[in-house]
Chains A and B, each alone.
Chain A
Amino acid sequence: MKKALPYIIFILLLFWHVVLFAQDRFPRPEFETGHVYPTNQMPVPRAQIFEYIDVAVLIGALIITTWLALKKRSRRGLIWMSVFSLAYFGFYRQGCICAVGSVQNVSLALFNTGYSIPLTALLFFIIPLLFALAYGRVFCAGVCPLGAIQELTGFRPVKLPKVVEIILAFVPFIYLGIAVLFASTNSQFLICRYDPFVGIFRLDAPYTMIIFGALLLLAGIFVNRPYCRFLCPYGVLLNIFSRFAGKHLTITPAECTNCRLCEEACPYDAILPSDLEQKREEPEQSRKRFKLYFLLVPVFAVAGAFLIYNIAPSLAVANNTVRLAREIRTEKKTGIESVTKDVAAFKESGKTESALFEEEVMIIGRFRHSAPWAGAFLGISFGIGMISLSIRSKRSEYKPHQGKCYSCGRCFRYCPVKVKV
């Protein structure tokens, strides 16, 4: 029963939340009785102190999760942390502020001098990365509400074919590149807009997103943590930082006996097998390949930069102004009057079409300017990925892949080695 308790709480949270389903609106009735409608009330802004409390909670949760994952080695404790984070950062804070989305605040601040990044957004961006640098992806283990909701529902793990796993693993890099491009051009916060779970946290999102989130959770029962593995852009950064972690979760509490029991334990394919009794590749061949990929990294970077530069004007449609301008142009071209709210609002505004088109051209220019950087990042990431697959490894034990491991502790119970505390 104890094991099931966190899940019951999680479900109760969902249940409690359903009653907050937002009211849809349509024109008010016309009263002839002289009834006066009450004036609309605006919600009072959240007090500053609560933002600092959020940061404190984040730090506290990270410390506890680190202790549970690295020291206590308690899978159950991590599940409890997931429930807490889901309750606090998910349902109470309704998925905002979150470290995943803070990538965009940072991008916007870096490329737009007019934007002043909130301190909390900056801290939410930096702190989990610092923890990753020190202790691995403990943020994913029990602090991230998006990870938590998937961790709690992922109990029938099925391994994906390796080819699918590898190709899909590149998607977060693309997503990160595009999201940073969109944010830096002040176009939109893509990550927040297409956050699949925020609609569940708030029960107030386009129903397509609620359905997407529900389907992702459903798929996550079998293909565990699908968002973390194949979409999460912040996970890319955590992956990079975690590779340099000074201390990381281990599968075994003591010395690995190479019993191989944990070999298939990780649903995320994040366990690196030991190299004992393995054939060694010719050092010369390995070196040659390494050199080749190393020299190709700039080529990949240039190719990526060219690709995204070339596609930038098409990507610019993510910007509302660009989309509006294209709509207006289509309207003129086809002679069919557009009835969208955006076009109607534009016409009401009195702004000129020429000013709109000028702005469109300017925004596309900004996309063109920023796109090569995003492309170069993707090219370099690909190159480094290839290099990492070419480096000779020497391992005498089974250990987690520091970049891919979510420190979820699923592998703990597979290890027969026990230590007396």
Chain B
Amino acid sequence: MKINITEKDISILKVISQISGGFALIIAMTMIFSLIQLKTVKPLDNPALLSIKEQYDKDPSNGKLAEQVRAMDLMARKAYFSSRWQVVTGSYLLVAGVIIFILCQRLISDNEKLTPVVTDLKPDVLILRSKYRRYLISGVSFIFVAALVSSFFLRVELPDTSGGSSRASKSIETGNDKATKADKINWPSFRGQDSRGIAGGSGYPTEWDAVAGKNIGWKIEIPGKGKSSPVIWEDKIFITGAQESTCNLYCIDKKSGKILWTGSVSGIPGEPTVLPKTDSDAGLAVSTAATNGNVVCAVFANGNLACFNMDGKQLWAKNIGVPESSYGYSSSLMIYNDILLIQFDSNTKISLIGLELATGNQKWETIRHGHAVWSSPVLAYFSGKSELVINGNPYVSAFEPSTGIALWEMECMSGDVAPSVAVNSSMAYAVTDYAKLVAIKPGTSVSVAWEDNTFTPDVSSPVANDEFLFVSTGNGDVACYNAMKGDTLWTHYFQDPFYASPIIADGMVYFLDRSGKMHIVKAESKFTLVAESQLGEATDCSPAFSDKKIYIRTKKNLYCIAKN
């Protein structure tokens, strides 16, 4: 059935359609305005209401103010709901307008006569197709070029996937002045790659119990005593030990825990006949060895230094002079390119020495200012350059690692400085007990970004990424700071003191206390204890992380902690 409509009716319908269309358009615009208002204006954020609320908060007993707050709150809510009412009513009106418009248009079009258009000439398909091809090529070429050009323009906003922005968990590839990801297999020096305390890889165990044998891969007794930490290259672990004046470097098979070879670092010309003053528990083996996969070097508190190849053949050995200090020498070695870096701290001289790795010949020596300390050098990567940062007394100083040229120093420490610095991509953090924790912005115009004296470790070194700085103290406190601003994000008291340095691994921080208990906490702005695992033996050594396993030296033993 068809409704017959006259020409006159169609004219009327057209007018109605135009009016309803215009009406719908106006309503739509009003609704858009109201919707924007509803979305953007929060009724309770009214400045007058907030101001009067503030006044009331200061004077809560003022009943008049309370009444005013209530009245204004109600008014704000009423205003909001009236806006909503406008939108809802507007919706009805809009739909009504659209209904009339569509109906009119429909009736008009239904009553229009079918007028097929037949052109005089039949379109030439060949010409048309040729034109279509041109259109398509032009259109697609335009889209292609526009997308390609914009892709290059937008490129500047891309993240630095080579490590720029996420340098927190990255470290420096030795000698290349290039940030790379922390190694998941090799742990070449004290506190791992570049001595930064950050482990690569993931899947490290969080729960173990040495007494019950849970998640213990193996355990061996180290023949010599010492407080040095293990270093790792591929399937070999190196650790130093000493018995009286006998100093050894042990190479241990990572899989079985079997000692593969022992390298003697005794009987070297220049070795003192009288043992230097050291911590009685530690003896001469406190400094951690360093390796680069080709050689492994070890230094002892009597000044004996030797380098071996990976099979245990001694390449060279020398005595660098006895570093005399009140607790004994403890700075660990570091290898940078073909240079062995030695932080030499003695009562008579403090310096940074660069030896040729292949021969042991001295390349350079840079005298440092101040007093002897017990920290170790840390390799940082600031503004595209590698810097060797040393926590000293009173100067925290940085050196160019291949030449030993001093780059900057900051006078901020005092007392017995044992912790090494922590570094991230933009700052160095120095600390020692009875002094303070200082965040240093490196560079020629070196400055202090922030400082704090609440949590100051005496032995344990701090560890940092771009967001957080973690410290563990000799009192058993652990604290997390905002690395950039210095706000204390969380603290926790674990009772047992900490000497070992914390390590960041797989989004967690591993804090090993002196009783041998590992406290594993999420590396986050909130304190979340993941697990606590007991070794059952006291330890002061920092753990080494490699290939989903953790290696911890205790007073007598070396443990491999691996998920069973």
Contact = CB atoms under 8 A, between A and B. Distances in A.
B161 A1 contact: no
B538 interface: no
B1 A310 contact: no
A275 B158 CA distance: 53
A24 B36 contact: no
A273 B118 contact: no
Interface in A163-195: 163, 166-167, 170, 174
A207 B34 CA distance: 11
Nearest to B152: A310
Contact of A174 (B38, B39, B91, B143): B143
Contacts of B484: 332
B144 A389 contact: no
Contacts of B107: 4
Contact of B467 (A155, A263, A314, A353): A353
B526 interface: yes
A350 B525 contact: yes
Interface string B109-136: 1100010111100111110110111011
Interface stretch (B8-16, B164-172, B237-245): B164-172
- Interface-central residue, A279, A353, A354, by most chain B CB under 10 Å: A354
Interface string A316-360: 000000000110010010000000000000010011111101101
A313 interface: yes
Interface string A144-160: 00000000010110000
A382 B136 contact: yes
B136 A170 contact: yes
A365 B161 CA distance: 10
Interface in A1-60: 1-4, 7-8, 11, 14-15, 18, 21, 24, 26-27, 29
Contact of B135 (A3, A166, A350): A166
Contacts of B95: 11, 14-15, 18
A420 interface: no
A11 B147 contact: no
Contacts of B525: 347, 350
Contact of A389 (B114, B133, B169): B133
B124 A278 contact: yes
A354 B159 contact: no
Interface stretch (B80-88, B225-233, B455-463): B80-88
A263 B118 CA distance: 7
B125 A273 contact: yes
B139 A170 contact: yes
Interface in A281-321: 281, 303, 307, 310-311, 313-314
B203 to A, nearest CB: 15
B6 interface: no
A361 B150 CA distance: 21
Given A275-B125, A277-B122, A354-B466, A27 B150 contact: no
A37 to B, nearest CB: 16
Nearest to A167: B139
A18 B116 contact: no
B144 A263 contact: no
A390 interface: yes
Interface in A209-264: 211, 214, 221, 260-264
B273 to A, nearest CB: 51
Contacts of B446: none
Contacts of A118: none
Contacts, number: 189
Contacts of B103: 4, 7-8, 11
A376 to B, nearest CB: 14
B92 interface: yes
A358 B506 CA distance: 12
B106 A386 contact: no
A121 to B, nearest CB: 30
B116 A414 contact: yes
Contacts of A153: 102
Contacts of A413: 114
Interface string B67-107: 00000010001001000100110011001101100110111
A141 interface: no
Contact of B32 (A207, A221, A273): A207
A7 B102 contact: yes
A311 B140 contact: no
A163 B135 contact: yes
Nearest to B87: A21
Contact of B136 (A14, A350, A385): A385
B381 to A, nearest CB: 15
B528 A26 contact: no
A263 B109 contact: no
A113 interface: no
A364 interface: yes
Binding site secondary structure of chain B:
helix
A358 B166 CA distance: 7
A11 B99 contact: yes
A199 to B, nearest CB: 12
Nearest to A166: B135
Nearest to A313: B158
Given A24-B84, A311-B150, A355 B123 contact: no
B170 to A, nearest CB: 9
Contacts of B522: 350
B410 to A, nearest CB: 23
Contact of B126 (A277, A281, A313): A281
Nearest to B39: A207
Contacts of A389: 129, 132-133, 136
Contacts of A24: 38, 84
A313 B159 CA distance: 9
Nearest to A362: B161
B118 A156 contact: no
Contacts of A351: 524
B136 A167 contact: yes
B154 interface: yes
Nearest to B506: A355
Contact of B28 (A167, A214, A262, A385): A214
Contacts of A29: 73, 77
Interface string B515-549: 00000001111101000000000000000000000
B150 A2 contact: no
A220 B158 CA distance: 39
A329 B165 contact: yes
B294 interface: no
Contacts of A355: 507
Contact of B110 (A3, A261, A329): A3
A320 B105 CA distance: 44
B166 A361 contact: yes
A15 B103 CA distance: 14
A265 interface: yes
Contact of A352 (B73, B96, B140, B465): B465
Contacts of B96: 15
Given A7-B106, A353-B467, A389-B133, A1 B32 contact: no
Given A4-B103, A26-B80, 7 more contacts: A15-B92, A18-B91, A170-B143, A207-B32, A264-B117, A273-B123, A329-B159
19 contacts: A11-B99, A155-B109, A156-B105, A162-B131, A166-B135, A207-B35, A273-B122, A275-B125, A278-B122, A310-B148, A314-B150, A326-B157, A326-B159, A352-B168, A357-B168, A358-B169, A360-B166, A361-B166, A389-B136
Interface of A: 1-4, 7-8, 11, 14-15, 18, 21, 24, 26-27, 29, 153, 155-156, 162-163, 166-167, 170, 174, 203, 207, 211, 214, 221, 260-265, 273, 275, 277-279, 281, 303, 307, 310-311, 313-314, 325-326, 329, 332, 347, 350-355, 357-358, 360-361, 364-365, 382, 385-386, 389-390, 393, 413-414
Interface of B: 1-3, 28, 32, 35-36, 38-39, 42-44, 73, 77, 80, 84, 87-88, 91-92, 95-96, 98-99, 102-103, 105-107, 109-110, 114, 116-119, 122-126, 128-129, 131-133, 135-140, 143-144, 147-148, 150-152, 154-155, 157-159, 161, 165-166, 168-169, 465-468, 484, 507, 522-526, 528
